[in-house]
Structure 1
Amino acid sequence: MSEEGTNELVELAAEAYVYGCPLVLDLSMVDTCVHEGFGPVAAAPFNRFSHSTRLGDAGTRFASVNNDTAYSLAQLDLSSGPLRLHVPDTGGAYYVVQFVDAWTNNFAYVGSRATGTEAGDWLIVPPGWAGTSPADVRGVIDAPTSVVTLVGRNACDGPEDLERRVRPLQERFTLTPLKGSEHGSGLPAPDAGVPAELGFFERLRVWMADFPPSAADRAHQDRFQPLGLLEEGPSPYAAAVPALVGALKEGLARGRERVEAAGVPGAGGGGKWMMNPHLFDYNLDWFGVGTIDSPEWKIADRKDAYLARAVAARVGLWGNHGYEAVYAQAFRDSDGEPLSGAHRYELRFEELPPVDAFWSLTMYDVPDSYLVGNPAGRYSIGDRTPGIVHADDGSLTIHISRERPADPAAAANWLPAPEGNFRPAFRLYMPKTPVLDGQYELPVIRRVGAAGQG
């Protein structure tokens, strides 16, 4: 193969990585959830809910896990037919069930924002289904792929609320086959004879065939034919020629570099929070119950959408559209210096975040983004925190430090920090328009002294 031909294959392989890594990351996590579990959520077979038995804490070794909601996960296999989802009445409490296809598209939402908090049933149907839905369901949710992830989040005000209210509520989220068997065919297995160095492309080849994307995406992936990604039957990677192996390996590395570079946060000049309400706008084709099908929630260029989708899968798999929840993070203070437990900080809100559900500020360490253990057992603070103190003028000041503040009012508004560098994350559930259009900005974090002083 000529040098020019090799370079073309390398570039094609890099593009294939950017295009296909969301599918591989998603279905790899689906497999993990079915067989091993996910953070505080135990393993469960397809078509069964599994619920978190505890809120995220310092023992949860999962990056950026939240401490606000109790997770309920279900991996669906619709190859045997539709499933009936029942959601209970939450009494006005916030919840969302997010529907994610195998390519990580958020294609439907059921919950407080989208459908309300009353009880009801929904029919989830596989691609191409042409049956008759029961008359008593609230609606039909068409799945783009036969494997789907349901990510349920119930607002939880702490461990006591989890046991008293949320756990009984979780058990009333149920999945029932419309008829016939509840078990589908599961995920197709990649060829075990493929070398580990080509495992990504083998998984992409097998899963791409079983879970085809939209027509527009299929037209795009046809260009990956020279890589062997469209071949059926025995794997072309079990005994690939050296030139192809080299191109795939180099292309994989190059593709990863592109995704990692695109996912690196900006400098956050002046300590500004980095917030992107449009991180999950790469879905261009599937808009079901609870989604917003309008230009401002779509990435206009499809190739740009592929890169955004890859970044989102790497840094925030199964995250929500911005109109359901917005996430922000900060690494630096108002002077541009890294946030560190060597100092004390204040975050003062003249105007509280405009949300229709709730907001929270959660502490994570750096670089792992794990929750930070502390004697107070407080991992986040927000508008639901008991005893939080507002000033007479309505403003709110959050105190961030390693040690508990001596002043009782400051201690009530204290978010514990680790000894080293840290990254707080802000979550705004059901954000209002000023958040989404940029009119509202989170205040910067100001350094007010050294740790152990004041």
Structure 2
Amino acid sequence: MNSKTDQIAHGCDDVVIQTLPLFEMMRMRAATTARRHPTLGFAAADPKSNARWVNQFTHTHRRLGPEDKEVVSPNNDTVYSNAWLDLSEGPVVIETPDMGDRYWTLGLLDAWTNPFAYVGRRTTGNRPQRTLVHGPGWHGVVPADITLTVAAPGNDVWVIGRHLVEDDGEDAARVRKSQSAMRLVRLDGADAAMRVDTWIDGRDAGIPTADLYLRIVSAALRRNPPLPGERLAWPPAAAGLAPSLTTVYERLRANNQPHDLGGGWAIPVMVKNNWGDDYLTRARIARNFIGALGIEEAMYPTAEVDARGVPLNGSQRYELRFAPGKGLKVDAFWSLTMYRRSDCLFVANAIDRYSIGDRTPGLHHDADGGLAIRLQAEDPGPGVNWLPAPKGESFYVVLRLYQPHADHLALTFDYPPIQPL
């Protein structure tokens, strides 16, 4: 390969790394928007059409379990509210009801995966709210009843909502009532729903062809230009794009690059509200953890090995113990979730427990105030905090820290290693 060809290939790799988040967000828009509106019907009569509804909430109403296989490493704490905003025809107002004392959040991500704004318990409280979100070209008058105005950097915004659920019965019903009161409207109160062509089959998560990638990114760029200070050489040289797509996509999947926390713990995502010029990490997260919110909202320390550095396996017994005064520090809540390594899904078990945390009924503290959690396949008996593991299979665990304290955010918290018994 001559030097000119090398330069083209290297340049195309850089452009793919820089623009991959934009492509993947458009793929997620196609995958997570609804074909059908509750009152306006289908966005298109043809089931094969890429037409979808935007400016419309869709919700989940139950916590996920082992029978749910669509999402890897799911959480067992919250249900979701999802919407894509299209701001090209003017602002959209997010109406949310009184949420009581419940933990909830709406994270707003721009088309480049920057989690640039939040509505919810941590940032705006739980009172009834009307949040106006507008694109870069709008300079209108903000009505007096708007509680928050958010200026989006582009015309496409992904709203990812989480609502804490205590059970799958009465509390889930209360959350469902709150979700049904959430609306997306125009300034005059009219339904903001719009039909759009999402351009792509969102079910295909493979490496895109060069033609498709060029078409989608070019269209998305017209609606969502790079942030100030980010220079982009677009379009890239056509000859180098196809091999670069294969190279970059495969490299991002293989290279995890987590932040080491010590004791066998690592955190895969570290962002507050903007990835800045760290384009490689931004691309890695878009490929592997798309939709991640900022660490001030939630952190996800993950452990795949025990205190000896040996991979966790359900043929062994383990204990994770937080010493007295050394517990996790959060303003909302924390949980520890078990996943089978082979498919990154929940582990079915006799007590239907997939996570354990500070809200788990009957959580037992030691006499000295410490907290021990047993990770194993067999029931350890009464009086033990047990998180069931898959029998004879490799597993990993994820700590979810909602509204973590400063020592977690600064990566100075001393996470105890998982000890084999």
Q: 1:391 aligns with which of 366, 383, 389?
A: 366
Q: Deviations over 1:182-220 (max 9, x none)?
A: 3446356379xxx94542233222222332122322xx2
Distance 1:187 1:422 in 2: 41
Residue 321 (structure 2) pairs with residue 321 (structure 1): no
Query: How far off its partner does 1:357 sit?
Result: 0.4
1:416 equivalent in structure 2: 388
Give, as a single letter, the amino acid of the residue that structure 2 aligns with 1:331. E
Distance 1:183 1:322, change over 3 A: same
TM-score in terms of structure 2 length: 0.88
- Alpha carbons 2:261, 2:415 under 8 Å: kept: no
Q: Which residue of 1 aligns with 2:112?
A: 103
Return the letter of the residue paired with 1:382: G
SS at match of 1:430: strand
Gaps of 5+ in 2: 37-42, 44-51, 202-207
Contact 2:12 2:236 in 1 (8 A): no
Picking from 21, 39, 47, the partner of 2:55 is: 47
Find the residue that maps to 1:114 and give its secondary structure: coil
Q: Give me the whole-angstrom Cα distance separating, in 1, the residues matched to 2:420 and 2:98.
A: 44
TM-score (norm 1): 0.82
Q: Name the structure 2 match of 1:213.
A: 226
Q: Does the 8 A contact of 1:189 with 1:206 survive in 2?
A: no
Contact 2:35 2:53 in 1 (8 A): no
Which residue identity does 1:33 align to in structure 2? T
Which residue pairs with 1:345 in the alignment? Answer: 318
Question: Does 1:200 pair with 2:213?
Answer: yes
Deviations 1:264-313 (A, max 9, x none): 447887x42102662456444xxxxxxxxxxxxxxxxx2xx111111111
CA distance 1:314–1:367, shift in 2 (3 Å): farther
Alignment check: 8 A CA contact 1:58 1:371 kept? yes
What secondary structure is seen at the aligned counterpart in 1 of 2:169? helix
Residue deviations 1:146-204 (CA, integer Å, cap 9, x gap):
1111111111112125433211111122111114773446356379xxx9454223322
Q: 1 or 2, which has the higher helix percentage?
A: 1
| Contact kept in structure 1, 2:209 and 2:242, CA below 8 Å | no
Specify the alignment match of 2:19 in structure 1: 20
Task: Classify 1:340/1:401 alpha carbon distance in 2 versus 1 (closer, same or farther; 3 Å).
Answer: same
When residues 190 and 87 of structure 1 are mapped into structure 2, their CA distance, relative to the original with a 3 A threshold, is closer
Task: Give the whole-Å Cα distance in 1 for the aligned partners of 2:237 and 2:310.
Answer: 46
Superposed counterparts of 1:82-161, under 5 Å: 82-161=91-170
In 2, Cα distance between the equivalents of 1:226 and 1:404? 57
**1:308 maps to what in 2?**
281
Contact 1:78 1:184 in 2 (8 A): no
Tell me, in whole angstroms, the C-alpha distance in 2 between the residues paired with 1:46 and 1:10. 37
Contact 2:26 2:216 in 1 (8 A): no
- Equivalent in the alignment of 1:68: 77
Deviates more, 1:273-282 or 1:100-109: 273-282
Contact 1:190 1:202 survives alignment (8 Å): no
Give, in angstroms, the shift of residue 409 of structure 1.
0.7
Name whichever structure is richer in strand by fraction: 2
Q: Secondary structure at the match of 2:108?
A: strand
Match of 2:234 in 1: 224
Give the secondary-structure state (helix, strand or coil) at the position aligned to 2:317.
strand
8 A Cα contact 1:360 1:380, kept in partner? yes
CA pair 69-370 structure 1, distance change in 2 beyond 3 A = same
Instruction: State the match for 1:272 in structure 2.
Output: 264
Of 371, 383, 397, which aligns to 2:346? 371
Q: Which amino acid aligns with 1:159?
A: D
Report the 3-state secondary structure (helix = DSSP H, G, I; strand = E; otherwise coil) of the residue aligned with 2:245. helix
Name structure 1 gaps, 5 residues minimum.
38-42, 229-243, 285-301, 449-454
Matches for 1:171-186 after TM superposition, within 5 Å: 171-179=180-188, 182-184=192-194, 186=196
- Given the alignment of the two structures, is residue 447 of structure 1 paired with residue 420 of structure 2, yes or no? yes
1:29-48 matches, within 5 Å, as 29-35=28-34, 45-48=53-56
Shift of 1:249: 2.1
CA drift of 1:120 comes to: 1.4
Q: Is 1:359 paired with 2:339? A: no
In the other structure, the counterpart of 1:296 is none
- What CA distance in whole angstroms lies between the structure 1 residues aligned with 2:413 and 2:387? 23
Query: What CA distance in whole angstroms lies between the structure 1 residues aligned with 2:345 and 2:111?
Result: 27
SS at match of 1:80: coil
Distance in 2 (alpha carbons) for counterparts of 1:190 and 1:50: 20
Distance (Å, rounded) in 1 between the aligned partners of 2:252 and 2:272: 15
Q: Report the Cα distance in structure 1 between the residues aligned to 2:191 and 2:58, rounded to whole angstroms.
A: 19
Rounded Cα–Cα distance in structure 2 between residues aligned with 1:5 and 1:88: 59
1:56 corresponds to: 64
